[in-house]
Structure 1
């Protein structure tokens, strides 16, 4: 199994299960959180290498989550997930440090590409290319 721990933060149980199964099959260790607040707690205790965060969640949404990471100077690669085509959201995510924006529904090959890239490069912003 790979050393990297990936944290999945999504309020939808089905999406969390899909991501956990796919990433475990790819050899990653995976943890999950059902809310932004739970995700922040897990970041502090588990020290993941990457977070995959839903942008639209009740309570602390993905943008708020990214804001908290930024405010705490916690440098963690983040892949933002959304079911919406929203350029403003994409720009906010980029400004707050998300490396990629993954649109639901997504295919696993795109997920694997983003995860591997986010874990191996110092800074790899490709949001605009993904939105177009």
Structure 2
């Protein structure tokens, strides 16, 4: 498994493949996980984990919803920035205290590229 800068977690294969293509065209390296369980398996691979700089996840996923996935990331001492993309504006409060950036879908490609650049091309300050 090669290292990726960005992990995209989404059970919608079309959306995740599209986001990956957009980010790779912008010069990023991205890996896709079809859900939280697969993402957590990838994070067990040390080489993958050490190269990871950003997680972009869906809110609604079968098996484990976005807030539980982010809690699991944080429990594993994963302090990387997390962007949650959701079609549900009222779900943002479920991420309180988890230090995420919450955006509503649809999220245009140029905005995705800009957000990723702002997170990865400037020093990231994690709040306590």
The aligned residue for residue 12 of structure 2 is: 12
The 1:105/1:124 distance shift into structure 2, 3 A limit, reads farther
Q: RMSD in angstroms over aligned alpha carbons?
A: 1.9
The aligned residue for residue 62 of structure 1 is: 66
1:117 aligns with 2:121: no
Write out per-residue CA displacement over residues 37-92 of structure 1, whole angstroms, 9 at most, x where no aligned residue: 11112123212111100011011111011110122222111110101111xx3133
List gaps (5 residues or longer) in structure 2.
none
How many residues get paired?
Answer: 120
List gaps (5 residues or longer) in structure 1.
126-132
Q: Map of 1:1-132 to 2, 5 A cutoff? A: 5-45=5-45, 46-47=48-49, 48-86=52-90, 89-98=91-100, 100-119=101-120, 120-123=122-125
> For 2:79 and 2:87, how far apart are their aligned partners in 1?
25
TM-score, structure 1 as length reference: 0.82
Deviation at 1:124, TM superposition (A): 7.3
The 1:108/1:32 distance shift into structure 2, 3 A limit, reads same
